[in-house]
Structure 1
Amino acid sequence: MGDRSMETLAIRRLGRPGDLGWVVMAHGEIYAAEFGWNADFEALVARIVADYASDNDVAREAAWIAELDGRRVGCVFCVAADQTTAQLRILLVDPTARGHRLGARLVDECIAFARRARYERMKLWTNHPLVAASHIYRSRGFRLVEEEAHHSFGMDLIGQVYALDLRATVSTADSTTAERAR
Structure 2
Amino acid sequence: MHTIRDLLSDGRQPGPEDVVPREPGPGDLGWIVQRNAALYAAEYGGNADYEGLVARIVADDAQDHDRALERVWIAESDGRPVGSVMCVRDEAPATARLRLLLVEPDARGLGIGDRLVTAVVGFARGAGYRDLVLWTNDVLSAARRVCRRHGFDLVAEKPHRSFGRDLVGQDGRLSLDAGIRG
Q: CA deviation at 1:97?
A: 1.0
Query: Counterpart in 2 of 1:48?
Result: 57
> Structure 2: which amino acid aligns with 1:143?
D
1:151 aligns with 2:161: yes
SS at match of 1:22: helix
5 Å matches for 1:13-162? Answer: 13-14=23-24, 16-81=25-90, 82-162=92-172
What TM-score do you get using the length of structure 2 for normalisation? 0.88
What TM-score do you get using the length of structure 1 for normalisation? 0.88
> May I ask how many residue pairs the two structures share in their alignment?
167
Whether the 8 Å CA contact 1:68–1:97 is kept in 2: the answer is no
Q: CA deviation at 1:153?
A: 0.2
Residue ranges of structure 2 left out of the alignment (5+ in a row) = none
The Cα offsets for residues 34-84 of structure 1, whole Å up to 9 and x where unpaired, read as 111001001100000000000011100001000111111110000010430
> Structure 2: which amino acid aligns with 1:119?
Y
> Structure 2: which amino acid aligns with 1:118?
G
SS at match of 2:75: strand
CA distance in 2, matches of 1:60, 1:45: 20
CA RMSD of aligned residues (A): 1.2
> Structure 1: which amino acid aligns with 2:146?
I
CA distance in 2, matches of 1:24, 1:73: 13
Percent identical: 51
